[in-house]
A and B are shown apart, each in its own frame.
Chain A
């Protein structure tokens, strides 16, 4: 059974700092991995999707990497801003279920 773990559970950084969020998964036989953002009281917004054949994806200040063999993904946020404050969730699509989610990292960027 696929399990997804995100570390840390919460993170607080000053504005302008570069930061890394971590995601690990137990079964490396995946189709893809997605990073989502969730604002309070809202649904999830897809940030990046990495197919199993890819190593990384970039969108603006966000860069996500995937190392299938070690069961790890990182989300790198450059030059963080207060508007980046949200919960970031990692989700893995493998054989048995469409997406298995981690519990998220709650990010606060302090101005």
Chain B
């Protein structure tokens, strides 16, 4: 079964450090999403890409978060500097969009981030 792969699975670091999370989408999918999940807010969309181009990053705090897709097999989400309020589970998902139809999104297992 094709899967979305996220690394690392867990990350604990101190406030102020840079954090980079990586995602390998499913081969052939043209859309990649980054979500953040917390108990209080639930799942929130941070940013998404289609054919590697950023379409919407309005959900991200732009002063500290950045998302990129250097190639079709890799998406990255970076936080610099990190803050305790960034502690959450970060999910990457990929999907195929075309011909006016949206296929189901497939999620990775997430990166559980703790900022001390």
Contacts and interface: CB of A to CB of B under 8 A. Distances in A.
Interface of B: 4, 31, 33, 42-43, 45, 48, 56, 91, 93, 101-110, 112
A92 B33 CA distance: 15
A99 B31 CA distance: 13
B104 A49 contact: yes
Contacts of A51: 101
Contacts, number: 49
Interface stretch (A39-47, A62-70, A73-81): A39-47
A12 interface: no
Most buried by B among A36, A49, A51, A99: A99
B104 A101 contact: no
Contacts of A101: 42-43
* Interface magnitude class on chain A: 20 to 34
Contacts of A41: 109, 112
B42 A104 contact: yes
Contacts of B104: 34, 46, 49
A93 interface: yes
Nearest to A97: B45
A99 B105 contact: yes
B28 to A, nearest CB: 16
Nearest to A103: B42
Contacts of B93: 43-44
A60 interface: no
